[in-house]
Chain A
Amino acid sequence: MLWPAMTQLNFQWELLAPEFILVGWAGALVLLDLFWGSSAGLRTGRIGKEPLGYLAAAGAVAAALVSLFWIGDHKNFADLIDVNNYTTLFRVFFGLTAAFACIASARYVKDRLLHPGEYYALILLSVVGANGMAAASELLTAYISLELLSFSLYVLASYDKFDLRSNEGGLKYMLLGAFSSAIFLYGISLVYGVTGSTHFNAIGEVLKGDTSDIDMALLLGLALMIGGLGFKVAAVPFHMWTPDAYEGAPLPITALISALSKSAGFALFLKLFTQAFLPLIDDWRYFIAALSVATMALGNLVAIQQQNLKRLLAYSSIGQVGYLLMGIAALSPESASALVLHMIGYVVTNLAVFVCIIIYYNWTGKEEIKDYAGTAERAPFLALCLSIALFSLAGMPLFAGFATKFILFQSAAQEDLLWLAGVAVFFSFVSLYYYLLIVKEMYLGEPAERTRFPTPWLEYGALSLLVAGVMFVGLYPQPVYDAVEDSTATIFAAVEDSAAVSERP
């Protein structure tokens, strides 16, 4: 296997501009908070905790916009980081996700947390990690990016340092995360040992040949890597940390974990399995399908009995991971697009749900389902948005959840996994039950008081955008689907390109 020699490597640093912006912005936020922050000893010219959040959001949006510059390009930085449509899609997506998380954090952080500068800096750094996971074309880069994302989230999850639940959630997340990355690494080392390379395409090339003499080590490595990635995306049986980390973490961070960590995990999962492990699909397809069924079943069934809304969403997110894993089990260009589309729809919807919960928490400091009794009377707009988002999560027509799930299930059925799609439809119906419980509580419950809540205009603005996104994807998914298809086509094209290269004499 000949890989480009050192002299040919492309060191175009400007390809990493979005990441430089994010890192620079993160550093600037820490310094800003240190010298001009609300707790600095200055008399004048202080920056409050709240504007800092909007500044951070601006940084994330700026990085997302700058990454648009490489639409349609096929570039590669030093043979380690791809900059193509796949990367661009995820850079924009992660940037906007983080921006919404920052906006939703602003008031929460002001009221409840210390050290806002570091808080926002860590959010931006986690985006750098997520970008790297989507962009990596090599295992070391992917691993470092994964750890950058995870480490930022470990700290953020335990950020409320005087709250025992936050400490405990963070500790469990951290210990299990370290354990799973060790497993992931051992898997990488075995795959490196048998294939002799850490580049996705080079691994794919080797695996295309005869692998009968290295089968055991290879399959063990593959299983360990699936385990490590399964942890990051919270697939059963590697999901144990999810409910605790979700419940313990500060609310906006729960939103960030559910959106960023999950979608970055799937971005890497999809790319790695397409470019490196596609030749072995018959070996891992049913393994992943089994994980998918277990994940759907456990997530949706345990969610039914939850009282705490964050915990319920944790289990519901586990259930959603089950649907997403279908896309990997049925790996084909169509199912890859369907997976990414469903993920985008899910993240947008989930962010809308979390923005609602954060607004409600800012008003009342409560997060149990029964505390939502009669919300429709006290805050009609919030109740409406939350209902729309929950219906979308359950996969009702009109909303994003239906369209994206439909495409995903269809693509699985096309790859002879009709039974899996059937199981998924069944559990979608189960999930409708517990989402409806919340809606019922909001519209039929008796409120404790009847006074209206004050209107948080900015949060409502962000919420309207997210709900509009949910409706848009639900009613007219074509443009989003086209963009997604464009981007996933590049990772499948990369497989063919490398095949063409190796066939040359």
Chain B
Amino acid sequence: MIPINDFLVLSAILFSLGMYGVLARRSAVLILMSVELMLQAVSINFITFAVYLSPEQFTGVIFALFVITVAAAEVGLALAIILRLYRNKQTANVDEADIMKW
């Protein structure tokens, strides 16, 4: 059996990559994709823990399912809001959304 650490390291790497993406990317759509990456890291974590630590319970797996569903809803919502900004300003770059400061 593959050691549990491999999965946890994979998930930590994915999570960190996503976090780096959120902080480094300037396009709203790419930020959103990075957030998705973070959420998938969370799903991997949940499934790993569910399988390795408590195989007789479903909590972790159900949690992962809900995370996926919520992530899908989140994308729909975020794209709609990004689209509104794009219609009004012809840009999806978060650096240019700077009317309000301090």
Contacts and interface: CB of A to CB of B under 8 A. Distances in A.
A165 B84 CA distance: 11
A174 B77 CA distance: 9
A182 B35 contact: yes
B51 to A, nearest CB: 11
A175 B31 CA distance: 7
Contacts of A197: 59
Interface string A133-150: 000000110011001000
A412 interface: no
A261 B31 CA distance: 24
A192 B49 contact: yes
B46 A192 contact: yes
B28 interface: yes
A222 to B, nearest CB: 15
Contacts of A82: none
B81 A185 contact: no
A418 to B, nearest CB: 33
Given A140-B62, A164-B89, A189-B42, A178 B78 contact: yes
Contacts of B53: 193, 196
A167 B81 contact: yes
Nearest to B23: A179
B85 interface: yes
A161 B86 CA distance: 11
Interface in A141-185: 143-144, 147, 151, 154-155, 158, 161-162, 164-165, 167-172, 174-175, 178-179, 182-183, 185
Contact of A167 (B22, B45, B59, B89): B89
B85 A168 contact: yes
Contacts of A174: 77-78, 81
Contacts of B46: 189, 192
B84 A167 contact: yes
Interface in B73-102: 73-74, 77-78, 81-82, 84-85, 88-89, 94, 97-100, 102
Interface-central residue, A158, A168, A172, by most chain B CB under 10 Å: A168
Interface in B7-40: 15, 18, 22, 28, 31-32, 35, 38-39
A162 B99 CA distance: 15
A140 B63 contact: yes
B32 A178 contact: yes
A183 B19 CA distance: 9
A217 to B, nearest CB: 9
B22 to A, nearest CB: 5
Q: How large is the interface on B (under 10, 10 to 19, 20 to 34, 35 or more residues)?
A: 35 or more
A182 B14 CA distance: 12
B59 A192 contact: yes
Interface residues of A, number: 42
B28 A171 contact: yes
A370 to B, nearest CB: 17
B59 A168 contact: no
A215 to B, nearest CB: 16
B77 A151 contact: yes
Nearest to B67: A185
Contacts of A189: 42, 45-46, 49, 63
A311 B62 CA distance: 40
Interface string A357-396: 0000000000000000000000000000000000000000
Contacts of B22: 175, 179
Interface stretch (A22-30, A68-76, A243-251, A494-502): A243-251
Nearest to B96: A168
A179 B97 contact: no
A21 to B, nearest CB: 23
A140 B49 contact: no
A169 B85 CA distance: 10
A311 B102 CA distance: 8
Given A171-B82, A186-B41, A196-B53, A162 B70 contact: no
Nearest to A3: B57
A473 to B, nearest CB: 33
Given A158-B84, A189-B42, A169 B100 contact: yes
B59 A151 contact: no
B97 A144 contact: no
A302 interface: yes
14 contacts: A140-B62, A155-B77, A158-B84, A165-B99, A167-B81, A167-B85, A168-B100, A171-B82, A172-B97, A182-B35, A185-B39, A185-B42, A185-B67, A189-B46
Interface of A: 139-140, 143-144, 147, 151, 154-155, 158, 161-162, 164-165, 167-172, 174-175, 178-179, 182-183, 185-186, 188-190, 192-193, 196-198, 243-244, 247-248, 302, 305, 311
Interface of B: 15, 18, 22, 28, 31-32, 35, 38-39, 41-42, 45-46, 48-49, 53-54, 59-60, 62-63, 66-67, 70, 73-74, 77-78, 81-82, 84-85, 88-89, 94, 97-100, 102
The 9 closest A-B pairs by CB, nearest first: A182-B38, A189-B45, A193-B49, A167-B85, A185-B42, A168-B97, A178-B35, A244-B100, A167-B84
